[in-house]
Amino acid sequence: MESLLDLTISQAHNGLKNKDFSSTEITKAYLDQIKKTDGALNSYLSITEELAVEQAEAADKIIATQKEFSPLLGVPCSIKDAILVQGAPCTAASKVLENYVAPYDATVIKKLKKDGAVILGKTNLDEFAMGVSTENSAFQVTKNPHDQAHVPGGSSGGSAASVAGKQACYSLGSDTGGSIRLPASFCGVVGLNPTYGAVSRYGLIALASSLDQIGPMAKTVEDTKIVFNAISGKDALDATSVEYQFEESEISLKGLTIGVPKEYFEKGMDKEVEAIIKNAIKKAQEQGAKIQEISLPHTKYAIACYYIIVPSEASANLARYDGIKYGLSKQESKDLLSVYVQSRGEGFGAEPKRRILVGTHALSSGYYDAYYKKAQEVRGLIRQDFINAFKKVDVIFSPVSPFPAFKVAEKVDDPLSMYLVDVYTGSVKLAGLPALSLPAGKAGKLPVGLQIIGNYFEENKILSIAQQMEKLV
């Protein structure tokens, strides 16, 4: 059974084609692995076993009659529990939505189902995707499969842990400030944050609508590419999505100009992380890439800017959880205001409450211009830094995080130090750019990710470069 769990998407596809095993066998192997290991890892919030077996049996029928079929047909995956799967719970790891069952499929799920994917279950996250460690979940703390004393990163920690812990062949997460790339880095898997608009957000429970983006997490760059190709493209149900056809291309490292932002290496980076990232840069240089130091001068404002925009948008998005239409409702309260106050007071955890308060303040009369408007102006400057940089370089290499995965409970009482974890990932999101986390080495037992940042809609470029780097690091 072990070998079935080690297969990549492409290997599973070839095995299914050659009738070496069935989708039902591979699905049951993953379901057994989840039963065996999830008591320790806590990757999953719910297992959709019946749905998975049904989907696997349907896939086997297609495989029996067709020679050619989608590479995702019959291959088991996990889905972050902020993405709607019809008929399955969707809690966003919050007590507010503890008993909520999704009435429809997110667009990305429709696309995966059309390709015959097998959905094993919904994975844990920080409540409403607010956090970097998956410790803010209202239900459980996910552990890092490489060392269970450490966090898996967040907010898509359950997704990363499920792939690293051989509990799914691949997963879908969402990235608002680093929520795919950080857990991918901490857990040693590949994670792609697509260009804003490349993938539909319809059916993703919103945190910050101008930043949220769904993306794949997988064992290899090749697998990441397969999933991204399946889920990307224009969607009539998401006005921010764009006409986008992903096309593979071979980009050689030879003659490529790689930018290295000097601001990212100035201070505060763990020595082992720095050595691993510099080694990756050196390996690219040995293949004929030109390394150029660049400046992203407004980087120092990115965290402050991000933590005004995100809470502001979150406070607006989370206003819908008022105890009236759906979710936790304290209807027994004596008047309408009490229903609101009690439903929200009991339903939200500490981090959503903190962000709602900050965001509501930043948007309030008399403060809007000083905070939210100013942050959006700074966001424009951060975006311009990247636009200027991409006039000189093809891609940018940087760390994903200043340090490897930290210990469970190490930063839990210090929200500010948690916020600083987004230092290399947040500015990419403010600019709306694509970026990928590639496993680049280990600090002791703990993986370290190299961040490869590309220009708008140049996923083909970063995936091609990542595939070459994958062989070198």
Positions marked catalytic: 80, 155, 179
Q: H or E stretch including 456? A: none
Q: Which of 364, 360, 386, 362 is closest to 374 using CA atoms?
A: 362
Say whether 441 sits in a helix, a strand or coil: strand
Cross-strand pairs, 397: 452
CB atoms within 10 A of CB 62: 15
Residue 118 is given by DSSP the state: E
CA–CA distance, 124 with 208 (Å, rounded to integer): 19
Q: In 329-390, which ranges are continuous DSSP H helix?
A: 336-347, 350-363, 374-389
CA-based diameter of the chain, in Å? 72
Q: Are 218 and 231 in contact (CB under 8 A)?
A: no
Closest by Cα among 73, 87, 312, 320 to 209: 312
Give the angle subtended at the CA of 411 by the CAs of 410 and 414, to the nearest 5°.
Answer: 145
Cα dihedral 460, 223, 91, 352 sign: negative
For every residue of 200-212, DSSP letters joined together read --TTBPPS-TTT-
E strands, 7-75, are 44-47
